[in-house]
Structure 1
Amino acid sequence: MKINKWMYVIRLHTLCLSFSGITLSFLISKSRVYVNLITYLLSLLTALSLQILSNISNYYGDNIKILYAKYNNLDRKINSNGLISLKQIINAIKLFSLLSFLFGLILIINSIDFLKNFYIFFLYFLGILICIYSSINYSIGHNPYGYRRLGDLFVMIFFGIVSINGSYFLYTTRLSLDIFLLSLSIGFMNVAVLNINNIRDIETDLKHNKLTIANLLGNQYAKIYHIILIILSVIIGIIFIIMNNKNYFYHCILFTLIILLLIDHINCMLKITNIQYFNLELKKLIVIIVLYTIIIGFGCFL
């Protein structure tokens, strides 16, 4: 069924990453000030649209271009296999570019007074355009940044710093050091998700001139890099809990659960020899990230 093909293209399971980041900053904000639910929903729709746009664009960049280089008549091959056509992929990129822009524009109009805060309004408007451009150009274009070992940096920026701090400011109209630190923690976790994908694809990426941190380091050192990302995330998360010095018992019990899950994940990563098992660990880490954000977010209410 074509719906299953689209679920694969948009990578449905990865959308939890956008949901968890936006929801985490919402829960923390709501524990501190009144937060308009509409702002949260619009932030969520914008983030999800941007991630779907990024995933579809990445599918196009990593798969369609490779197939066109291999086959002279790709459209006939795609249609004969019941796959999604090139035209449909391009239309989907256009659709989610438009949705990302519209949701983002409605979000800032709803959240920011244009006359009183023109510069902030303009900054967020410019940010929307940059996010759309970056979502598309991860793997599309003459010189996509995802092919120049910049993917990890951009994931840290957009899934960590921008997602958490950007939405937190819209919820509260303020910035906070502890939220910035937490955004780094979430960012490192998201980079670790990308790193699993890149370790799995080391050989394939090198064949198609896609340069990543993983194929720079090689399989063994890329796994060490993975462990460092997770350790940094956990340490910064603990610092956030200490800075918000309440509910130590709640956080200690549940944060210990997260650490145990991460230890199991790291142990499995180190033992993997068959690349097929990387997909399982990628999904496992996404679940851990969701649990991590729920524990931190709801812990602020207790």
Structure 2
Amino acid sequence: MAKTKTSTPKRNGRPGGRPGGRPGKQPVRRVTAGDWIGGARLRTLPLGIAPVALGTGVARANGGWDLTLALLCLAVAVFLQIGVNYSNDYSDGIRGTDDFRVGPSRLTGSGSVRPKTVLKVALAFFALAAVAGVVVVVITQIWWLLAVGAAAVVAAWFYTGGKRPYGYNALGELFVFVFFGLVATVGTTFVQLREFPFDAWVAGVAAGLFACAVLMINNVRDIPQDTAAGKRTLAVVVGDPVARALYALFLLLPFFILVYFAFLYLHAPYVYFTLIVAVPAAVIGVTGKTPRELILALQLSSLTALVWALALSATLFF
């Protein structure tokens, strides 16, 4: 009997593809609530909370703030952050990037959840962010903010989604700096104050630098796997030593920016106590050898961003 020729399906990186480009892969185990919580990557949520806290503090210091609008801005930022995380899980999974992963497994790449299910969850969080944003627009009657919100959602999707994701071309740090730094901070201030005070821009730069630090140390950990998968993050492009130096620079620059606030606000110098967390994070991030050490640096970096922002916001309030 003649043998039939079989062919191996090529990896499909388009939406709706199978995880890792491996057709017919069955779930390896039943997914749990803990898996979904892990997929949300809660340790990154300070990157959504910090700019809103800073923007609200600046609004208060400049003569006005609105609790309802502040909470809505927080909802936009946090839902968008979670949406980005699930979108990243989905896109990396169907591209096969997570085939090389050695850390905690992802929902899509592990085959635990169907790709389309992860995609739907990502889109649901993007939709929640959009709804909160629309409510802000309706309350404030600042209709051009709809364009800003749409740009944020589109940028979040194309970070790792689409045919040419910019997160695969060393532009991820630029995205987080702009949207989780400047846009989130200055936008939060503007909707409450209807002004663009210089303080908001300075605080936004600091928030953006913290976001860059967290993303950089995450990508430093994944340099070998991302290189094998063809994912050209900034860490992959510049190499391990330079990437670690940039991480420390991103993490510590906000403390130099803090000098500006220390001259203007009496209690702002107390924020320097955050160095108690930041310095160990920087040391571990620069010298750490194992993935576990780099994950610890990431967690400490997120904590630094959150505490720094909350402490400075408190000094602006009181």
- TM bin, normalised by shorter chain, reads 0.7 to 0.9
Q: Which residue of 1 aligns with 2:257?
A: 236
Q: Which residue identity lines up with residue 163 of structure 1 in the other structure?
A: A
1:15 aligns with 2:45: yes
Paired residues in the alignment total 281
- Mapped partners of 1:220, 1:296: distance in 2: 31
Report if aligned partners of 2:97, 2:226 keep a CA contact under 8 Å in 1: no
SS at match of 1:210: coil
- Give the alignment partner of residue 121 of structure 1, picking from 126, 143, 147: 143
Q: Which residue of 2 aligns with 1:141?
A: 162
Q: Which residue of 2 aligns with 1:106?
A: 135
- Mapped partners of 1:69, 1:28: distance in 2: 44
Q: Which residue identity lines up with residue 273 of structure 2 in the other structure?
A: L
- Give the alignment partner of residue 69 of structure 2, picking from 36, 39, 62: 39
SS at match of 2:239: helix
- Give the alignment partner of residue 189 of structure 2, picking from 168, 189, 192: 168
Gaps of at least 5 residues in structure 1 are 71-77, 113-119
| Residues 2/177 of structure 1: CA separation in 2 closer, same or farther (3 Å cut) | same
Instruction: Identify the structure with the greater helix proportion.
Output: 1
Report if aligned partners of 2:50, 2:306 keep a CA contact under 8 Å in 1: yes
Q: Which residue identity lines up with residue 23 of structure 1 in the other structure?
A: A
Q: Which residue of 1 aligns with 2:115?
A: 86
**Cα deviation 1:120-156 (Å, max 9, x = unaligned):** 522x111111111111111011000100111011110
Q: TM-score, normalised by structure 1?
A: 0.87
How do residues 181-260 of structure 1 correspond to structure 2 at under 5 angstroms? Answer: 181-242=202-263, 244=264, 246-247=265-266, 250-252=267-269, 254-260=270-276
Q: Which residue identity lines up with residue 85 of structure 2 in the other structure?
A: N
- Mapped partners of 2:221, 2:49: distance in 1: 25
| Residues 231/82 of structure 1: CA separation in 2 closer, same or farther (3 Å cut) | closer
Gaps of at least 5 residues in structure 2 are 1-30, 101-106
Q: Which residue of 2 aligns with 1:279?
A: 295
Report if aligned partners of 1:26, 1:40 keep a CA contact under 8 Å in 2: yes
Report if aligned partners of 1:214, 1:222 keep a CA contact under 8 Å in 2: yes
- Mapped partners of 1:68, 1:169: distance in 2: 39
- Mapped partners of 2:279, 2:296: distance in 1: 15
**Cα deviation 1:222-268 (Å, max 9, x = unaligned):** 111112223322211222332x2x31xx333x333222332222222
SS at match of 2:317: coil
Q: Which residue of 1 aligns with 2:11?
A: none
The runs of at least 4 consecutive aligned structure 1 residues that moved more than 4 Å come to 67-70
Report if aligned partners of 1:161, 1:187 keep a CA contact under 8 Å in 2: yes
Deviation for aligned residue 1:292: 0.3
- Mapped partners of 2:173, 2:185: distance in 1: 17
- Mapped partners of 2:59, 2:295: distance in 1: 34
Q: Which residue of 1 aligns with 2:34?
A: 4
| Residues 33/144 of structure 1: CA separation in 2 closer, same or farther (3 Å cut) | same
- Mapped partners of 1:239, 1:31: distance in 2: 14
Q: Which residue identity lines up with residue 42 of structure 1 in the other structure?
A: L
**Cα deviation 1:31-87 (Å, max 9, x = unaligned):** 4323222111111111111111111111112223317989xxxxxxx89x7822212
1:291 aligns with 2:307: yes
Report if aligned partners of 1:2, 1:83 keep a CA contact under 8 Å in 2: no
Q: What percent of counterpart residues are identical? A: 24
